[in-house]
A and B are shown apart, each in its own frame.
Chain A
Amino acid sequence: MKQSAIEISGLRKSFGKQTVLSGVDLTVPAGTVFALLGPNGAGKTTLINIMSTLVSPDEGKVNVGGYDVLTERDQVKQNISLTGQFAAVDEVLSAEENLRMIGRLSGLTAAQSRLRTMELLKAFDLVDAAKKRVKTFSGGMRRRLDLAISLVVSRPVIFLDEPTTGLDTISRRALWDIISQLARQGRTIFLTTQYLEEADQLADQIAVINGGRIVASGSAEQLKARVGGEVIELLNAHDEVIHTVPTTGSIQDISRTLNDLAHSVPPGTRVNIRRPSMDDVFVALTANKKEVLHV
């Protein structure tokens, strides 16, 4: 039976006079990767903090792993693992000590904890750095350790708050690989990101949050379709678009369109087939705060 890992309805939260979340509804099916996309200050971290029991909601219902975050806090905690926006690692301890500490705190025996630490150090390519203090780690290593720590024991729901912010391209891709691997094991992953490419690459479902509201949700394809389908662009010698024609993207349609156009365009005209990118979606959706799209 496929249940929802996360169910949120009518969630509101404000800090003093500042409204951070104004009526959020979300459902994340178990075993899927969900990306929450939004600019800085949109309410992403607050939403994660509420789902992970750090902050209490003002209004609305929030269920994680089948438990209510307000009334069944302890059960929720047994079902989640949080990797916050800032690497949650102990800088004074070594990588190995960090993992073993979390192992013991998670209820593993000392021996189990040692074993699990070795496995994770290997899996996250940290064996050489195992004994070094985390203070000396690079951003990428720190993030890998951070993620390894959240996987010490198996939790069905994993929260990743901006997991790749501040990482270089190589570290980012390495982290993406790990996240995809986790997804294949059937965990539910809820991640927030400012990077559209990241949401596009990893997520089954994406929601765009802006000004404390979900302004759109759906698969990457659905969101792109909202902004418009594929177009054939004709460019002149200066790379300026002189003509655009919508297309279905099939060979037949493209070749028919190009045949029709071939006679009427000046020599030197070039062709570009453009699909709307997630960037187009993002800009379109977050430009106007009032507009609410449902896909």
Chain B
Amino acid sequence: MIAADKPVKPASLMTTNLVFISRSLRHSLRNTEALLMAIMLPVMLMLLFTYVFGGAIDSSGDYVNYVVPGIILLCAGFGSSSTAVDVSNDMTNGIIDRFRTMPIKSLSVVTGHVVASLARNLFATGVVFGVALLVGFRPNASFLEWVLAIAVITLFILTFTWLFAAIGLVAGSPAAASGYGFALLFLPYLSSAFVPTDTMPSWLQGVANHQPITPVIETIRGLLTGTPLNDSAWWAVGWCLLILAIAFLWSISSFRKKAGRR
């Protein structure tokens, strides 16, 4: 029987978002390789930095406490970068035309990917914290400090995920999206993630001290291990909100511009 029933009322924005979130979560769970990579890579990096480089950087054995916040951000950046590929995949597939010609807010397809990325990354962050505790990470944070640290990490993941979503929207192909995303992942290395910035040449210190990743790392480090916070928390939140707003608006405008073009 091919005939359908009488016309129905279009789906609400809430339903649309939920449907797209569940779609993206399914995609994440079925792409086992990417999921495994998103968890394994940060764990390997942490082991690498703690056991291989750690001794040379700080022979007191305390390096693990220094490096964990950096690894967490690297993990979040890497995990959210796959959003660029997911979004670009959708944009280059015929399915986006179907979504766009339905009476729904079709940008929700991107929201779905963003929420799935957030879920994926928070899970991966949890695993990294678990492994970190096993290899000697000893945070001295209170409950409130933990909550704040997780809030900052969540904001950071959300910001970078929207940024990668925008990159996925403007990239010509999934491969290009992946390439652009990769470039951004160098940012944590040029910050205080792995070594204090005052060990860098002075011209590089200027870059490292004033790029968005450094205050975010200093904030998480301060909250979890009690290093001085100064004003880095404000800078961290400010940077994140600014980038988030730009990435979001950029996504909306490129999503509109891409209509009918694949």
Contact = CB atoms under 8 A, between A and B. Distances in A.
Interface of A: 49, 52-55, 74, 77-78, 80-93, 97, 101-102, 104-108, 116, 119-120, 122-123, 133, 149-154, 178, 181-182, 185
Contacts of B19: 101, 104-105
Contacts, number: 101
A82 B103 CA distance: 12
Contact of A90 (B5, B11, B95): B95
Nearest to B3: A185
Interface of B: 1-11, 15-16, 19, 23, 26-27, 30-31, 93-104, 259-260
B101 A154 contact: no
A249 B73 CA distance: 81
B103 A101 contact: no
Given A86-B94, A105-B19, A123-B2, 20 more contacts: A54-B101, A55-B259, A74-B103, A77-B103, A82-B97, A84-B98, A86-B93, A88-B98, A92-B30, A101-B19, A102-B98, A104-B19, A105-B16, A105-B102, A106-B8, A106-B102, A107-B15, A119-B1, A154-B4, A178-B2
Judged by DSSP, the binding face of B is: loop
Given A54-B259, A153-B7, A84 B1 contact: no
A84 B8 CA distance: 23
Contacts of B4: 116, 151-154
Contacts of A102: 98, 102
A90 B7 contact: no
A270 B1 CA distance: 49
B101 A107 contact: no
Nearest to B22: A101
Contacts of A154: 3-7
A119 B5 CA distance: 12
Contacts of A104: 11, 15, 19
Contacts of B93: 86, 88, 91
Contact of A78 (B7, B26, B94): B7
B94 A88 contact: yes
A133 to B, nearest CB: 8
Contacts of A93: 23, 26
